[in-house]
Amino acid sequence: MLSDPVTHVKGVGEKMGEDFAQIGIHTVEELLNYFPYRYDVFEIKPLSELIHDDKVTIEGRVIHDPSLTFYGKQKSRLTFTLEVEQVAVKAVIFNRAFAKKHIHSGDTVTLVGKWDAHRLQITVSTYKKGPASQQDEMQPVYPAKGELSPTKLKKAIQQALASYAAAIDEILPAPFLTAYKLPSRKEAYQTMHMPKSRIALKHARRRFIYEEFLVFQLKMQLLRKWKREATTGNVQQYDQLRVKAFMDSFPFTLTDAQQSALHQILADMASPYRMNRLLQGDVGSGKTAVAAICLYASVTAGKQSALMVPTEILAEQHYQSLTELFGDRASITLLTGSVKGKKRRERLEQISTHQLDIVVGTHALIQDDVQFADLGFVIVDEQHRFGVEQRRVLREKGLYPDVLFMTATPIPRTLAITAFGDMDVSVIDQMPVGRKEIETYWVKESMLDRVLQFVGKHIVSGEQAYVICPLIEESDKLDIQNAVDVYHDLRAYFPASIHIGLMHGRLSAEEKDTVMKQFANNEIHLLVSTTVVEVGVNVPNATIMMIYDAERFGLSQLHQLRGRVGRGEKQSYCILIADPKGETGKERMRIMAETTDGFALSEQDLQLRGPGDFFGKKQSGLPEFKVADMVHDYRALETARKDAQEIIDNDLLETKEYQALLQYVENNFQTDEKLD
């Protein structure tokens, strides 16, 4: 059985078993899943094409018996001549005296080794009697790991394949293999470790890519189904008329995209299932408006609700805009780290006795002493900024509350279906009408003076500007230093009538708050800042976003920053100052200047920078695939997702043909996953 311990493989003893355990390989199956990271391709090429000092493969006939000489201490040299393409080539084999017994005049041999083009000589590393077979063309190379050398790994894997091939059962139902022309599981394993040809290897890889994606998608979709079915009991019977009246009080009508997202969310709330939904929408697409309506719906259903956001500034902004929207329709409070002492105790008391309907807050919301009387609805804004654990704690403050996650980071589709495959997703992919497009310019640093004049002119005419400082990878401290330097430079540059403020992560919450308030009141005209202003900040009078060293930022992040302007009636500008060295850097600046669609940018970012940039490093929630690459193989991912959905929707996993697949998927769950 493939689940046998790896020590059952011939040649793998106790010691080696321990070495394997060290690198996470315990079973035969895990050993077989240790795929080569590359293949050495030994192609037989004409002598005239062989390159001096390269590793080459040649095939020829031995002209006379090898001669063996010994030298030094137990060192030997075996030499012979062979005829290749009617040319005499000299072969040397060091320290393998026994080879003399194997190689004789008249034999055809295949030699792999280092080529000396001047002397027409090969220093042999591997030899084989007989002509080169297809198999010799591609040699798997395994990454050495821990105590295990590539050679040891290879030996063990080849041995495992030899003895366990018959135990490799198919898990994909036959129609899939036929439809996609995929090799069997057994054949695919054999090919991955001993490819007979490049074509065969391509198909074996295709098979594992599809298998990995399908199993993953089945798992996610099963989780989603279970989560829905396991958590009945939260029906929020909201008051449709009151909700409608609330919407009618808005100074605008919802866009179609907002409407449809709203309906999906409200349907979840009214259903007995617990909502587990992600609401995606570009900055300014009107998510907050939708969220407000949902919060109100929950209030009319007699429940309490909570809105958790990552920063104090955002919490206060949301609190303010919600208070304005709601008027006396609901009682709202704010709970952040700055709410302390008596004030905090009072609010907690009111929350626990349901005197308050809606609580807006930061991490302060998830502390132990925060007790809700009847929490029915939770919204987590910029959810990727919170850890899994923090989201869970908030959720558990209610009895099966409906949960809505919101993000303004447009997430590329492939990432969305991998990272959030166990959620329902609503997308607001449309901007409210009448928005002026932000004009974006990319300029070189040599143009800085002209840019600053442009900024000064707009400020004098009553507008405001952000200046974002260079980002220095991994160094908060240097970022701040940069901001401080720029702040002083600009103070020296502009007349004192232009008020310049400074904002960075080291300021206390109160200091940040003061600065933001001054900026919001136009007492500060130009705000120099690190990327802390990135998310959600809303000052409609600000019309210029100037970004230093823009090439250091990801496209998605630049787009987020750009979203800080263009929030009012006036024409807004985004100015990227950058002198990128390479072509991709230039390309990225061009893309930024041309594209205002956040989803398009995020797709580009994914292609250029890979998936790591979209979420925090650790809490990404992105699965690791052995063969598949979700960026490169996105088509297969789409196919697998559709197939998985069909399988789940039609309950096919219960049928006989799907038993092996079901079994495999179930073994794939970590024990705690089903419970979350």
Can you give the binding site for Mg ion, defined by CB under 5 A? 234, 269, 271, 402
Residue 559: CB minimum distance to ligand ADP, A: 12
Helix residue spans in 165-286 (DSSP H)? 174-180, 185-193, 198-230, 240-248, 256-270
- Closer Cβ to Mg ion, 378 or 459, answer by number: 378
As a whole number of angstroms, the distance between CA 49 and CA 57 comes to 12
Sketch the per residue contact string, 288 through 327, with ligand ADP: x for CB under 6 A, - otherwise. Answer: xx--------------------------------------
Give whichever of 140 and 281 is closer to ligand ADP, judged by the CB atom: 281
Q: Does residue 407 touch ligand ADP according to CB under 6 A?
A: no
Long-range contacts of 502-508 (CB under 8 A, 24+ apart): 502/527, 502/528, 502/529, 503/527, 503/528, 503/529, 503/530, 503/532, 503/533, 504/479, 504/480, 504/529, 504/530, 504/532, 505/476, 505/479, 505/480, 505/530, 505/532, 506/476, 506/480
Longest dimension (CA), the chain: 103
Query: Which residue lies nearer to ligand ADP by CB, 254 or 640?
Result: 254
Of 116 and 424, nearer to Mg ion (C-beta) is: 424
Q: Report the SS3 class of residue 418.
A: helix
Q: Which does 281 bind (CB under 5 to 8 A by kind): ligand ADP, Mg ion, none?
A: ligand ADP
Residue 317's H or E segment, with its range, is: helix 312-326
Q: Which two tokens stand for residue 310?
A: 């990552």
| Rounded CA separation 106/81 (Å) | 11
CB within 8 A of 221, min separation 6: which ones? 421, 422, 644, 645, 648
196/173 Cα distance (integer angstroms): 25
Neighbours of 558 (CB within 10 A): 26
Q: What letter represents residue 265's amino acid? A: I
Binding span for ligand ADP by CB under 6 A among 215-223, 252-260, 364-372, 645-653: 252-260
Tokens 């198999």 sit on residue? 135
- How many positions of this chain bind ligand ADP (CB under 6 A)? 14
Q: Counting contacts by CB under 6 A, is residue 281 touching ligand ADP? A: yes
**Token pair in block for residue 501:** 């403020």
Residue 402 binds which entry of ligand ADP, Mg ion, none, CB below 5-8 Å type-dependent: Mg ion
Question: What's the DSSP call for residue 5?
Answer: B
Which span (156-164, 166-174, 287-295, 644-652) binds ligand ADP, by CB under 6 A?
Answer: 287-295
* Coarse DSSP helix, strand, coil percentages of the chain, rounded to the nearest 5 percent: 45, 20, 35
CA–CA distance, 516 with 522 (Å, rounded to integer): 10
Which residue, 432 or 585, has its beta carbon nearer to ligand ADP? 432
DSSP 616-670: -SSTT-PPP-SS--TTTTHHHHHHHHHHHHHHHHTTGGGSGGGHHHHHHHHHTS-
The window from 249-257, 260-268, 338-346, 666-674 that contacts ligand ADP (CB under 6 A) reads 249-257
Q: Quick one: 300 or 530, whose CB is closer to Mg ion?
A: 300
Task: Give, as one character, the DSSP assignment of residue 523.
Answer: S
Our finding on whether 252 is near ligand ADP (CB under 6 A) is yes
Q: Is 102 helix (H, G, I), strand (E, B) or coil?
A: helix
Measured from the CB atom, the residue of 382 and 402 that comes closer to Mg ion is 402
* Chosen residue from 50, 91, 283, 528 binding ligand ADP by CB under 6 A: 283
Residue 289 C-beta: closest distance to ligand ADP, Å: 4
- Does the protein bind ligand ADP through residue 113 (CB under 6 A)? no
Of 236, 255, 362, 407, the one binding ligand ADP (CB under 6 A) is: 255
Q: Which does 288 bind (CB under 5 to 8 A by kind): Mg ion, ligand ADP, none?
A: ligand ADP
**Closest residue by Cα to residue 62 from 97, 91, 95:** 91
Near ligand ADP in 421-480, by CB under 6 A: 432
**Residue closest to 37 by CA, chosen among 122, 127, 133, 140:** 140
d(CA 413, CA 603): 8
Whether 416 and 279 have beta carbons less than 8 Å apart is answered as no
| Shortest reach from residue 279's CB to ligand ADP, in Å | 9
254 belongs to the binding site for ligand ADP (CB under 6 A):
yes
Q: Is 408 in the site for ligand ADP (CB under 6 A)?
A: yes
Work out what residue 589 binds among ligand ADP, Mg ion, none; the CB cut-off runs from 5 to 8 Å by kind. Answer: none
CA distance 465 to 478: 23
Write each residue from 52 to 91 as x if it is in contact with ligand ADP (CB under 6 A), else as -, in one continuous string.
----------------------------------------
The least distance separating ligand ADP from the CB of residue 173, rounded to whole angstroms, comes to 43
Contacted entry of Mg ion, ligand ADP, none for residue 336, CB cut-off 5 to 8 Å set by kind: none
Q: Give the C-alpha separation, 77 to 291, whole Å.
A: 80
How many other C-beta atoms lie within 10 A of the C-beta of residue 246? Answer: 22
Task: Select 285 or 390, whichever has its Cβ closest to ligand ADP.
Answer: 285
**CA distance readout (Å), 495 to 64, 453, 479:** 92, 12, 25
Cβ distance to ligand ADP smaller for residue 163 or 521: 521
Amino acid at 57: T
Say which entry of ligand ADP, Mg ion, none residue 560 contacts (CB below 5 to 8 A, set by partner kind). none
DSSP H stretches of helix in 420-508: 448-460, 476-493
Decide: is 110 part of the binding site for ligand ADP (CB under 6 A). no
Is the CB of 173 or the CB of 540 nearer to ligand ADP? 540
User: What minimum distance in Å lies between the beta carbon of 669 and ligand ADP?
Assistant: 35
Give the bridge partners for 24, in sequence order. none
Please say which residue, 284 or 501, places its beta carbon nearer to ligand ADP.
284
154 alpha carbon, distance to own chain's centre: 31
Among 36, 66, 284, 412, binds ligand ADP (CB under 6 A): 284
Which residue, 81 or 255, is less far from ligand ADP as judged by CB?
255
User: Does 286 engage in binding with ligand ADP (CB under 6 A)?
Assistant: yes
Residue least distant from ligand ADP (Cβ): 286
Query: Which of these segments, 115-123, 247-255, 259-267, 545-553, binds ligand ADP (CB under 6 A)?
Result: 247-255
Output the smallest distance, CB 409 to ligand ADP, in A. 11
Indicate the residue among 564 and 588 with the shorter CB distance to ligand ADP: 564
Contact stretch for ligand ADP (CB under 6 A) within 201-209, 248-256, 342-350, 390-398:
248-256
Minimal distance, residue 545 CB to ligand ADP, in Å: 15
- Distance (Å, rounded) from C-alpha 144 to C-alpha 36? 10
Nearer to ligand ADP, 283 or 503 (CB): 283
The three-class DSSP label of residue 26 is coil
The residue ranges that bind ligand ADP (CB under 6 A) are 252, 254-255, 258, 281, 283-289, 408, 432
